[in-house]
Amino acid sequence: MDTELDQVASDEGADQRTSDQPAERSKEASSLLKELVAYLRDSRTELREEWARRISEAELLGVMSDEEIFSEATEVYDNYVDALETGSIETLQTYARELSERIIPRGVETHEVLGIVLLLRDVLARSLFAKYQEDLELLNRILDEYEPAANRIAVTVGVSFVEERERVISEQQESLRELSTPVLQLRERLLILPIIGVLDSERARQLTEQLLRSIQENRARVVVIDITGVATVDRTVANHLVQTVEASRLMGASTILTGLSSKIAQTLVDLGVDLGMMRTVGDLQGGLVEAERLAGYLDLEADDPARPET
């Protein structure tokens, strides 16, 4: 009876995956891990070479030279083995972030980073198979230590890379947007805002902010908003435009909208957008003439920009 219970108890013990509870890791498991890490360090040279070979074979990291791949590979390998040994991912996360910062500007993509980490995992696993093939039971126990740790490493590196990538894209988008909504001072009291490209509501929001601030800084009386370079306008954007014009008026400036294609004009009509308060002129040239007239006219005579047009 007792021996049967003992048998069951030890079987359960053998089935337990203990990777998430280091406190419960048996002495045997941690000595296996030590053995594993020592082996990986000793075989560093051949395994790293094998890995580099597999990377070229898979045609990953094309943007990097062989020397670069070698030097990064060395660092990744060492960090990988360290992470296996300590079970700590903080150092790995820091490294992964730094690595990402280096390689993202080079154009390395997500699938490449995941690819090489998984290849390393495979290379190391294969070498473990080769080393412990005589003793399948021991191999199993070694893999029990190796696999969860290796998976956690792959996830950590992948996620760090993706997060860094998203941050970079975010920054780039921001600067692109700022570049593409310039408000120019054409003459004293006259601003022109040429809009080019896709106009979404976030961009429209920024555009409005920049324009109103420019009106304030330049003490502008007339603003020309040119949308020649805008292909389509939906309801949200149309409303934004109208709101921009009205807000400009509250700051004492008149607005002229130029460059409406007949398509956009039709869209605005269909959307029931109230263009009553806006002056619109077909082309930019005509709009500028009108604006100068308005600015000149405003300086001499009593035309109040806050009043509705008669």
Partner 1 sequence: MSVAILREGDYLIASIQSDLSDSEVVELRNELTELVGTHRSRGIVIDVAALVVIDSFVARALRSIVLSAKLRGAETVIVGIQPDVAIAMVHFRLNLQPLRVALDLDQARSLLERLTSGGGGDGR
Partner 2 sequence: MDDEVRVALRTDADLVNARAQGRAMAEQLGFPRPDPTLIATAISEVGRNIVRHVGCGEIILRPLQEADRYGLVVIARDEGPGILDVGAALRDDYSGMGGLGLGLPGARRLMDDFDIESSADSGTIVTMKKWRVRDELARLREERRRRE
Instruction: Give the three-state DSSP class for 190.
Output: strand
What is the side-by-side order of every strand in the sheet holding 222-229? 184-187, 190-196, 222-229, 254-258, 279-281
Name the residue nearer to partner 1 (CB basis): 179 or 300. Answer: 300
Site residues for partner 1, 236-295, by CB under 8 A, read: 243, 246-253
Determine which residue in the list 102, 111, 126, 213 makes contact with partner 1, applying CB under 8 A: 213
Name the residue nearer to partner 2 (CB basis): 101 or 209. Answer: 209
Q: Which residues are at the interface with partner 2 (CB under 8 A)?
A: 166-167, 169-170, 173-174, 200-202, 205, 209
Q: Contact 139/133 with Cβ under 8 angstroms?
A: yes
Q: For residue 106, give Cα distances in angstroms to 135, 233, 285.
A: 45, 36, 43
Determine which residue in the list 209, 234, 270, 274 makes contact with partner 1, applying CB under 8 A: 209
Determine which residue in the list 106, 219, 235, 293 makes contact with partner 1, applying CB under 8 A: 219
Give the H/E segment covering residue 29.
helix 27-42
Name the residue nearer to partner 1 (CB basis): 214 or 267. Answer: 214
Query: Which amino acid type is present at position 88?
Result: S
Name the residue nearer to partner 2 (CB basis): 23 or 105. Answer: 105
Neighbours of 34 (CB within 10 A): 12
* Helix/strand/coil (H/E/C) assignment for every residue in 101-144: HHHCCCCCCHHHHHHHHHHHHHHHHHHHHHHHCCCHHHHHHHHH
Nearest distance from residue 229's CB to partner 1, in Å? 24
Nearest distance from residue 304's CB to partner 1, in Å? 6
Q: Point out which residues bind partner 1 (CB under 8 A).
A: 208-209, 212-213, 215-216, 219-221, 243, 246-253, 301-302, 304-308
